[in-house]
Amino acid sequence: MDISRLSLCDLAEHLRSRTLRSADVTQLMLDRIAASGLGAFIAVLPETAMDAARAADRALDAAAESGTALPRLTGVPVALKDIYDLEGVATTGGMGFRHDAIATRDATATARLKAAGAVILGKTALTEGVHAEHTHFPAPANPWNAARWCGASSSGSGVAVAAGLCYMGLASETGGSIRIPAAMNGVTGLKPTWGRVSRAGAFELAATLDHVGPLARSAADAAETLWTLAGPDPRDPTATHRRLPPLAEIPGDVKGLRIGVDLAANSAGTDPEHVAAHEAMLEVLAAAGAEIVAVRTPDPSEMIWDWFAICATQTALAHRDTYPARRDEYGPALAELIEKGRSLAGMELQDVIRRRREFRGAFEALFGSVDLVATPAMAFSAPRTEDMARASDEIITGLHRFTCPYTMSGHPALSMPAGIHGDGMPINAQLLGPLMGEAALVRAGMAFQAATAHHLRHP
C-alpha cells in the first residue's frame, strides 16, 4: 500500500480502524515535502503538525475503545493556501511585504478544518495577491512536467495534492484558480456556489468573485471537505444559511439525472483530445443511467473579458490601504489590475454588472430542464511556463472560457481528471450545477470516478 497515494476518505478509514496512525502519516508527508523540490509550500509547520497528529492519535485511540464517533477528517494531513489565516503564522497572500502579517486568529475555514480534527501541514504557494504572477515567491513546479505551467493562483495546493504531499489542499477561486490548477495538475477541484463557504479571515482579491473550495484526489474527498467547511458564519454575512443535505443521503448512482451538453459550444476552439475526453465522460455517465440532453448554453465571450473589470475594481478596493502608498512593492501584473480598477468609469462598470447579472440568469435558467451541465474543463492542456510569461489573448481565452463565466455567475463546478493527453499532460472534464447544487455535482462526480480510474493516475 502506497500510503502517500491514498484518498482522503480511505486514509480516514485507516485512521479510524487504527491500521494507520496520524503521526506516522504526517511524518511521511513532511518528509515528502522536504524531499520533493517542487516548491509547493511557502511555509511548512512540522512541530505544530506533529503535535496535532499526536493529539489526533490520542483521540482516535480513545474513540476506538469507547466506540465514539469522531469527525472524518480527524488526523488527516491537509494544507492551506497562504490566504487563510492560521493563528500565529503569517498570511502572505503571495506578497513580499506581508512576511510579518501574523494572524491573530484563524480564518473560519481554518477553524472548521481544525474542529474536524485535520492536521495542518503548512501554507501552500500562490501568485502575488492571489492574481496572476509568482512575483515574490518562487513558482511551484508542475509534477507532471517541470516545463509546464501549474496554474494560478492556487498553484501550490494543486501541486501538493498531485505530488502526494497532502491529502487535500484548501484553495480559492476568483477567476479559475480551483479548476485551472486542478486541470493543470490532474486532480479534482470543487468550486462551490459563491457564499457556500465563509470567506472570513481569507486574504481578499475580489469580494464578489472569491470562492473557497478544495483541491483533492477525488470527488468524494472534495465533498468531505466541502461539507466540513460549509455553513453560515457571523463573521461573514454573505455566507449562506442554506444547508447541504447530509452526504450519506446523496444517491450512489446517476439514474435519471439529466445532464445538459452544448456540443457545438464545447468543441469550438477546443483541443480535439479534450473534446474527446469530455465526450467520453458523457458516455460513462450515460451508461450509468444519466440522460444526456442537448442544450444551448449562453455565450460566455463577454464574461471572459468582463471578469477583468469586476476583478480590477474590487481588487483596487481591497488594496486601498497599501496601494498606491506601497506601489514599488507590487509586481507589474497586480499593479496593472489595480490601476485598471482605479480608472474604470462608473457607467462602464455598471454595464459590466448588468451583463453579469443577465448571464447568471440565463445560465441558471438552463436548470429548469437539466440537473447539470457538462463542458471541458480547459480548451487545452498545460501550456509551457515560458508561454505564460507573455500569455496571448488566445491562451487567456482558452484558460478562461470554461472557468471565468461561472465565477462571474457564482455557479458551483466540479473539475475531474478525464484522461491523459498525447503530450503526457492530464486532461480534466467539468460539470456545472445550479446555484446551491453541489449535491448533484458530487453525485455525478462520484459515479464517474467509480466507473473510471483517471483520478487514480499520478505523476
Specify the pairing of strand 77-81 against strand 211-216.
Answer: unpaired
Q: What is the pLDDT of residue 374?
A: 98
450/7 Cα distance (integer angstroms): 13
Q: What are the catalytic residues?
A: 81, 153, 177
Q: What is the pLDDT of residue 68?
A: 94
Mean pLDDT of 220-246: 98
Q: What is the pLDDT of residue 122?
A: 98
> Is the model's pLDDT at 456 over the cut of 80?
yes
pLDDT, tens digit, 9 for 90 and up, residues 314-356: 999 999 999 999 999 999 999 999 999 999 999 999 999 999 9
Cβ–Cβ under 8 Å, residues 23 and 50: yes
Residue 228: its H or E element: helix 219-229
On average, the pLDDT of the chain sits at 97
**What is the reported pTM?**
0.97
Q: What is the pLDDT of residue 391?
A: 77
Q: What is the pLDDT of residue 109?
A: 98
CA torsion sign for 174, 175, 179, 182 is: negative
CB burial readout 277-287, b (16+ within 10 A) else e = bbbbbbebbee
Q: What is the pLDDT of residue 55?
A: 98
> Which amino acid, 62?
A
Name the percent of the chain lying above pLDDT 70. Answer: 100
> Is the model's pLDDT at 257 over the cut of 80?
yes
Identify the three-state secondary structure at position 296: coil
Cβ–Cβ under 8 Å, residues 82 and 154: no
Q: Where are the domains of the chain?
A: 3-240+250-456
pLDDT, tens digit, 9 for 90 and up, residues 321-330: 999 999 999 9
The CATH topology of domain 3-240+250-456 is Amidase signature (AS) enzymes (3.90.1300)
